[in-house]
Structure 1
Amino acid sequence: MSPRTRVTVMAILVLLLLAGSAVYVQAFYRQKPLQEVQTDKKIVALTFDISWGYETPPAVLKVLKDHQVQCTFFLSGPWVTQYPEIARQIKDDGHEIASHGYRHINLTNFSKSEIKAELMKAHQAITAVTGESPRLFRAPNGDYNNNVIKAVYECNYRAIRWGTDSLDWMNPGISIIVDRINKHIHPGDIILMHASDTSKQTAQALPTIIENIHSQGYEILTVSELLAEAAANP
């Protein structure tokens, strides 16, 4: 091989490597946790994380049923196993079942294989109790890094975060929770709330939150419905 040919071959190999890297970067960028969808339509997803307790979840479900609203619930594996009747009620009420992992830990502290084990252990628990095979995952504390994201997608999940955080878990006061959502809500938003027993003001704030969302002309959807609507109407 002549020196000139060798240089040409090396140049082609470098270009192919760069092209492959660009495709990987673009693909990985698309796999970042979803916080909202890009849309001009007044649609939002109301979501709830549950990791412990049996008093707040039924109270939240009653409000949602009274207002004929379907939401997405991110459930932890141990909670589903401990309170199977409530988990099945969430499904039977027409809400979307999603995963909140197994242990309520910061997954960024673990290896990819350990993260995948957490996800699949939760998946098995949720499926066994509800009969649903969830495909949406929200990391405990919204704690993501590249390792977590790769593990999530290798387990055939979609990584979800949030656009608006109600901060209801801090129990700052009912009016503060309501006002925070009113202030930050926007088209395509994913709203984070909690239905664990430690969130003591969520059920009380929820009726006003739903009424305010509707009065502003928004439709409340599940996360999967939000994704489908945005895809159908870019």
Structure 2
Amino acid sequence: MNFFITVNGRKVKQGLFIVLISFFTALFFFSQSILHTPVFGTKDEPKAIYKGEKGISLTFNIGWGDVQAGPILDVLEKKEVRSATFFLSGSWAEKHPDTVKRIKDMGFEIGSLGYAYEDYTELEDEKVRRDILRSLDVLKKMDIKDVTILRSPTGHFDKRTLKIANKLGLTVVHWSLNSQDWKNPGVNVIVKNVQKAQKGDIILMHASDSATQTAEALPAVISQIKEKDQLVTLSILIANGKVKTTLVP
């Protein structure tokens, strides 16, 4: 009987030893993975902002179409929201000056979404620069001056993008919470995705025609955000305490 207990005790110890070895091995590889994950620049290089400290920012990308933007603006007007931020594609803005004017007249903050909605990581430096400048020129002609924020058109960016934007006086702003509204997963799913919002979050939504459920989901989304914290524009969020920056390879 004593031998039986001793043998099992050894097995238990061996089992625990194996578990501990496995744990520390996994921890080692995880640590190595973190250490070797490409960072989004150094502390001396420009970075992309993806989160603030106080307030919550509701942002909309518009790249094409003019069916969904109107209803979304109607909801924002009805809900008395003036603190959203719109990132506009230059090519879209040229085709829809009346909607651009309405966004401006309603007092919303406007940022650039580039001009041609291309992936900046796949373009040469000069093409990225020209695309950004062209978008700024379009907005300037529409009396939208002093644009200070840029969102990479496809959401993809690298160190080159950040450096080019920085030289043009722009801050690249990403997002910390994606509503996934462009997938049209259902109004309830969009609302549920935004339920995760916390102080400092930058929420991504769309006012392009691909997002057919955004306007319907928006009233509940706004109510949820207001329960969590105050709705603020990106410029206020960025200036309101600490910001979290993201590093790119």
The answer to whether the superposition gives a TM-score over 0.5 is yes
Is this contact kept in 2: 1:50–1:75, CA < 8 A? yes
Decide which of 176, 182, 186 is 1:169's aligned counterpart: 182
User: C-alpha offsets along residues 182-226 of structure 1, whole Å, 9 cap, x if unaligned?
Assistant: 02x11111000000011000000000000111123x111110011
Is this contact kept in 2: 1:63–1:203, CA < 8 A? yes
- Secondary structure at the residue paired with 2:142? helix
Decide which of 88, 92, 101 is 2:114's aligned counterpart: 101
1:26: which partner in 2?
43
- Aligned CA-pair RMSD: 1.5
By percentage of residues, which structure has more helix?
A: 1
Decide which of 112, 115, 123 is 2:136's aligned counterpart: 123
State the alpha-carbon separation in 2 of the partners of residues 119 and 135 from structure 1: 12
AA at the equivalent of 1:26: K
1:171 shift after superposition: 0.5
1:137 shift after superposition: 0.2
State the alpha-carbon separation in 1 of the partners of residues 42 and 231 from structure 2: 33
Structure 2 residue runs without a partner (length 5+):
1-40, 243-249
- Secondary structure at the residue paired with 1:230? coil
2:219: which partner in 1?
207
State the alpha-carbon separation in 2 of the partners of residues 27 and 58 from structure 1: 42
AA at the equivalent of 2:225: I
Decide which of 71, 79, 85 is 1:67's aligned counterpart: 79
2:60: which partner in 1?
48
Structure 1 residue runs without a partner (length 5+):
1-23
User: C-alpha offsets along residues 89-126 of structure 1, whole Å, 9 cap, x if unaligned?
Assistant: 10100100110001111110112111111000000001
- Secondary structure at the residue paired with 1:156? coil
- Secondary structure at the residue paired with 2:204? strand
Matched, 1:227 2:242: no
Report the TM-score, using the length of structure 2 for normalisation.
Answer: 0.78
Q: Matched residues, percent identical?
A: 33
1:65 shift after superposition: 1.0
Is this contact kept in 2: 1:46–1:71, CA < 8 A? yes
Within 5 A, what are the aligned runs for 1:128-207? Answer: 128-183=141-196, 185-207=197-219
- Secondary structure at the residue paired with 1:150? helix
State the alpha-carbon separation in 2 of the partners of residues 131 and 187 from structure 1: 29
Compare CA radii of gyration and give the structure with the larger one.
2
AA at the equivalent of 2:119: N
State the alpha-carbon separation in 2 of the partners of residues 107 and 93 from structure 1: 30
State the alpha-carbon separation in 1 of the partners of residues 97 and 78 from structure 2: 22
State the alpha-carbon separation in 1 of the partners of residues 144 and 166 from structure 2: 21
AA at the equivalent of 1:226: L
